[in-house]
Amino acid sequence: MVGDLRRSEGQAALEIEDPVAREQALDDAETRLTADFGRAALTSDEIGKINVLLGARQ
């Protein structure tokens, strides 16, 4: 599923030790997620809700 793939990308990004590379990986994952929703951007509130849903599945 797309959600599982995006969660894996986010988790992989968090494991990157270099802070600049980690931030870029997180930005890339967010960009792909917004595209999956057919949007130019997601609000912070929407991202928070997605994080809660994904966290509940762990």
What is residue 1's predicted lDDT score, i.e. its pLDDT? 42
Which pLDDT does position 5 carry in this prediction? 46
Read off the pLDDT band of 2 (50, 70, 90): very low
pLDDT at 57: 64
Convert the pLDDT of each residue in 5-23 to its tens digit. 455 776 777 788 888 988 8
- Cβ atoms within 10 Å of 28's Cβ, excluding its own: 12
Handedness of CA 23, 25, 31, 37 (dihedral sign): negative
pLDDT digits (tens, 9 = 90+) for 35-51: 888 888 888 898 888 87
For the chain, the structural domain boundaries read 2-56
What is the arithmetic mean of pLDDT over 21-42?
A: 84
